[in-house]
Chain A
Amino acid sequence: MDMEASKKKLGLKERYNHLTRGLDWETSYQPMEKVYPYTRYEGIKIHDWDKWEDPFRLTMDAYWKYQGEKEKKLYAIIDAFAQNNGHLGVSDARYINTLKLFIQGVSPLEYMAHRGFAHVGRQFDGASARVACQMQSVDELRHAQTQMHTVSNYNKYYNGMHNWRHWHDRVWYLSVPKSFFDDAMSAGPFEYVVAISFAFEYVLTNLLFVPFMSGAAYNGDMGTVTFGFSAQSDESRHMTLGLEIIKFILEQDPANVPIVQRWMDKWFWRGYKVLTLVSMMMDYMLPKKVMSWKEAWEIYGEQNGGALFNDLARYGIRKPKGWEQATIEKDHLSHQAWATFYNYGAAALFHTWTPTEQDKDWLSEKYPASFDKLYRPRFEHWEEQAKQGKRFYNTTLPMLCTTCQIPMLFTEPTDPTKICYRESDYKEEKYHFCSDHCKEIFDHEPEKYVQSWLPVHQIYQGNCFNPGVDPTAPDFDPLRAVLDFYKMNFGRDNFDFEGSEDQKNFAQWHGEGA
């Protein structure tokens, strides 16, 4: 051998540098700006891509090795789950409804994140940024697949999970998460990573995955806690990437600061509104509860987010504009959301219910400032109506916020008894919003948001009926026609949990034993 073997292995930082800088080159047949055409039009100025440092410095060999181990561990548990009647082990069949919401609303976003990171993993000029985004793209595909595999075991036994892909593009409440990601995907690459890597992954994702997955464990759902924490082990890498992206962009040029601040304002608010669904999962849908939405917001929002924005203040960055309002709303968010789904329980692809006595006491304890005064009486009124055989189902359609697409259910920040309405005029049309922040997002980019596919508008325009349906027929039932278009199994997927097939089956499986 001519070459003397090196005595010591390369260190982590050197190995990572060889993978990124070492394998990258400047193009000569084509100018770099033609090879990477999307990184200039958003106004972000980058002077030196080599300043990008991925803190985890994972090399490809290590990446495949660790991801392979995670998969083996996960699939061993999924096999054990399937072989040992794991679907029977959950605390109560009401719990399954959180999984329905998850597969309908969250898993499709994992797939969109895979696509989004594949795109920016090609388009960024810097090799380290591309490598980090490509790994994340593979991670996100893994998350989508593992969630489908895990939930498929429940789909064999429970309703409301069989057609989630079809529903995600059509059903009224699923346009909330769908439009969130479509909004990010149709932005430029820098806005996309600020939206998803920073605002969603770093600032908000703990609120979704950490207390909720711990709640899945507490409710005996071995499958979900396993895919959840397996995904979350990648998430830690994504979160550090999110923080690195922000520091890198801010340090490159002072002119980037106001652009990034505006994106933070926008994407914090967009992401927070999507988490409305999570707030009611935690407070109302978990039969055995681990933490209230309010407590989760205090730990992962106020404390953790507070520390983050305190740290970023040295760049001239302040907390996102909607931060204070989110803090005020922590006493109200989950109650208002669940009350709305209770109303529209005939049109939802999961079951709803009024809280049990035990649930109500827990809610009183966790929400001393709001539950007994504002929300307990409302649920008790509905409970009383249901007892008399008059379970309330709202059959009219709500007005939606043009930006977040959530029905106008939120109250004024200063008055929790008054619904908050805002509006803007644009090109002689009127647009409606649930909050000042959603209005401001629209006002800054009206040409984008006038294209929103708002489910209620689409229903009224006649775009949500199956081909051949005649809306002029004398016995035409518009609500039923929309639910047919959704491919809902009417009477099985919808309505109250009380009396549902899920409830009956669960009781029978447990009563009769093996």
Chain B
Amino acid sequence: MSNVFIAFQANEDSRPVIEAILEDNPGAVSNASPAMVRIDCEGQLVIRRESIEARVGRDFDLQEIQLNLITLTGHLDEDDDQLTLSWKQ
């Protein structure tokens, strides 16, 4: 199965999002470059609202991640609670 990835600007808004992703996706690996962090994961990667809320200590709208999003790959499925990136094969 191929990797999916997502990249964020390296800043304080992104930090809890990145931490949540790394904890919720055991196979996920983060790569830092100047000003950005890319997270790769084989097959599928899930971003969960609750995990981010637990870190930021407030309600979090998943669409807020768009403010610091740089790029992503894979098929995207998003609802109020989670955002999933995946390849079908």
Contact = CB atoms under 8 A, between A and B. Distances in A.
Contact of B70 (A233, A240, A310): A233
B66 A233 contact: yes
Contacts of B3: 303, 307
Contacts of B66: 56, 58, 66, 233, 236-237
Interface in A242-261: 243, 247
Interface in B51-89: 63-64, 66-80, 87-89
B78 A229 contact: no
A236 B87 contact: no
Contacts of A206: 71
Residue among B35, B79, B80, B87 with max Cβ neighbours from chain A (10 Å): B35
Contacts of B71: 206, 209-210, 232, 235-236, 239
How many B residues are at the interface, by size bracket? 20 to 34
A19 interface: no
A240 B72 contact: yes
Interface stretch (A120-128, A213-221, A349-357): A213-221
Nearest to B89: A311
A69 B9 contact: no
A341 to B, nearest CB: 25
A184 to B, nearest CB: 21
Contact of A210 (B4, B7, B87): B7
A310 B73 contact: no
A415 B34 CA distance: 36
B73 A304 contact: yes
A310 B69 contact: no
Contacts of B77: 55
B73 A210 contact: no
Given A214-B35, A229-B35, A311-B2, A55 B78 contact: yes
Contacts of B89: 310-311, 313-314
Contacts of B79: 11-13
Contacts of B67: 66, 69-70, 73, 233
B78 to A, nearest CB: 6
Contacts of A217: 34-36
B56 to A, nearest CB: 16
Given A310-B87, A314-B88, A243 B35 contact: no
Nearest to B62: A12
Residue among B63, B66, B88, B89 with max Cβ neighbours from chain A (10 Å): B66
Interface in A270-314: 290-291, 303-304, 306-308, 310-311, 313-314
A307 B87 contact: yes
Secondary structure at the A interface, as helix, strand, loop or mixed, is helix
Interface in A55-79: 55-58, 62, 66, 69-70, 73
A214 B87 contact: no
B80 A311 contact: no
Given A12-B79, A311-B89, A236 B70 contact: yes
Interface string B2-37: 111101010000000000000000000000011110
Contacts of A13: 79
A56 to B, nearest CB: 6
A57 B69 contact: no
B73 to A, nearest CB: 5
Residue among B4, B63, B74, B75 with max Cβ neighbours from chain A (10 Å): B63
A225 interface: yes
A290 B87 contact: no
Nearest to B77: A55
A237 B76 CA distance: 10
Given A210-B71, A214-B33, A310-B2, A229 B76 contact: no
Contacts of B4: 307
A55 B70 contact: no
Nearest to B80: A12
A239 to B, nearest CB: 7
A237 B67 CA distance: 11
Contacts of B33: 211, 214, 290-291
A236 B72 contact: yes
Nearest to A213: B35
A239 B72 contact: yes
Given A56-B78, A66-B63, A290-B34, 20 more contacts: A12-B79, A12-B80, A66-B66, A206-B71, A213-B36, A213-B70, A214-B33, A217-B34, A217-B36, A218-B34, A229-B36, A236-B66, A236-B72, A240-B72, A240-B76, A243-B75, A243-B76, A306-B2, A307-B4, A307-B87
Interface of B: 2-5, 7, 9, 33-36, 63-64, 66-80, 87-89
11 contacts: A56-B66, A58-B66, A66-B64, A70-B67, A214-B36, A229-B36, A233-B9, A239-B71, A304-B5, A307-B74, A311-B89
